[in-house]
């Protein structure tokens, strides 16, 4: 039952990523098309454009939410691929716990940066 | 009591590519896995850039972006976008299948009947078509200068 729940969470995270990363991709990549619809034409990767977004709470929240769901989805997916190669039960547990620790560390550091930029 | 070991995966990673005659959906599965791993690799690079480099201020950020404007990285970025679009839409197809939406009504297997794979086939064709269209839209945007 526990495995099913984590798998459902993986699916749910996938749907959330499609929405959040969709917003991120359209904003960062479709600038020529956005310009056509009247959105500002500044290069989204320039420092001023980036800092402008980083100083808005809504973007920081979007990025941190995306970070959390994408990290879970990616690490759970990679764990699934590795466990498909049927390592021993002990090796499987090592993989699982390594990914949990990696996930927490990466989330902590990567969520700190937008919060730091938001407050600076 | 000795713990029962799960059945071994005899083909290993090679079985992802070939384990007999594969149908279209099986190649979509392989592509789903490859794009997933590719997106993970991109995610690692992206996080390094947006944390370690971004926090060091404007000069470091601008020199990083200058490196990323290199044509090699532009092509890479385009491939990431297409991989994401494919992974998302194929994932949607898998979710619909998993919850039983694309399987059709259960019917008695009276010949000539449609097997489950053929009932689901239109969805596979639709997602390939949509991925193709979006790939062209993003290609237009990349070629027209923005990225």
In chain A, what are the domain boundaries? 2-119
- pLDDT classification of B93: cutoffs 50, 70, 90: very high
pLDDT at residue A43, rounded to an integer = 77
Helices B24-48 and B116-143, axial angle in degrees (round to 10): 40
Domain residue ranges of chain B, discontinuous segments joined by +: 24-104+111-143
Confidence check on the interface: ipTM exceeds 0.85, yes or no: yes
Whether A82 has its CB under 8 Å from any CB of chain B: the answer is: no
pLDDT at residue B8, rounded to an integer = 67
Whether this prediction's pTM lies above 0.95 is answered by no
Q: Shortest CA distance to A114 belongs to which of A42, A36, A55?
A: A55
Mean pLDDT of B1-7: 65
- pLDDT classification of A15: cutoffs 50, 70, 90: very high
Mean pLDDT of B62-81: 88
pLDDT at residue B147, rounded to an integer = 47
* Class level of CATH domain B24-104+111-143: mainly alpha
Provide the CB-side half-sphere exposure for B51 (13 A, CA): 18
Report residue B28 CA to chain centroid gap.
8
Residue of chain B minimizing CA distance to A41: B146
In this structure, which CATH number among 3.90.580, 1.20.1300, 2.40.50, 2.60.40 belongs to the domain A2-119? 1.20.1300
pLDDT at residue A1, rounded to an integer = 58
Indicate yes or no: CB of A45 within 8 angstroms of CB of B91: no
Whether B84 has its CB under 8 Å from any CB of chain A: the answer is: yes
Give tens-digit pLDDT for A56-115: 889 999 999 999 999 999 999 999 999 988 788 899 999 999 999 999 999 999 999 999
Kindly give, in sequence order, each residue whose CB lies less than 8 Å from that of residue B89, ignoring residues fewer than 6 positions away: B127, B130, B131
């Amino acid at each position: 039952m526990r495995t099913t729940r984590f798998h459902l969470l993986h699916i749910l995270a996938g749907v959330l990523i499609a929405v959040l990363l969709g917003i991120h991709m359209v904003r960062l990549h479709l600038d020529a098309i956005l310009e056509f619809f009247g959105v500002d034409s500044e290069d989204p990767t320039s420092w001023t454009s980036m800092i402008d977004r980083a100083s808005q709470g809504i973007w920081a929240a979007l990025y941190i939410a995306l970070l959390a769901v994408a990290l879970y989805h990616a690490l759970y997916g990679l764990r699934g691929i590795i466990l498909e190669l049927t390592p021993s039960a002990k090796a499987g547990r090592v993989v699982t716990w390594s990914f949990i620790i990696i996930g927490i560390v990466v989330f902590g550091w990567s969520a700190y940066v937008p919060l730091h930029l938001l407050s600076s | 009591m000795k713990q029962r070991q799960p059945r071994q995966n005899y083909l290993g990673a090679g079985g992802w590519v070939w384990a007999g005659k594969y149908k279209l959906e099986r190649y979509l599965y392989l592509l789903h896995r490859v794009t997933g791993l590719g997106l993970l690799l991109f995610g690692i690079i992206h996080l390094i850039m947006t944390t370690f480099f971004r926090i060091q201020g404007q000069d470091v950020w601008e020199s990083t972006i200058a490196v990323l404007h290199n044509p090699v990285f532009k092509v890479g970025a385009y491939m990431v976008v297409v991989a994401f679009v494919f992974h998302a839409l194929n994932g949607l197809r898998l979710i619909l299948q998993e919850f039983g939406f694309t399987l059709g009504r259960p019917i008695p297997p009276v010949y000539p009947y449609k097997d489950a794979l053929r009932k689901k086939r239109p969805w596979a064709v639709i997602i390939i078509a949509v991925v193709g269209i979006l790939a062209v839209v993003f290609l237009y945007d990349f070629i027209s200068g923005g990225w």
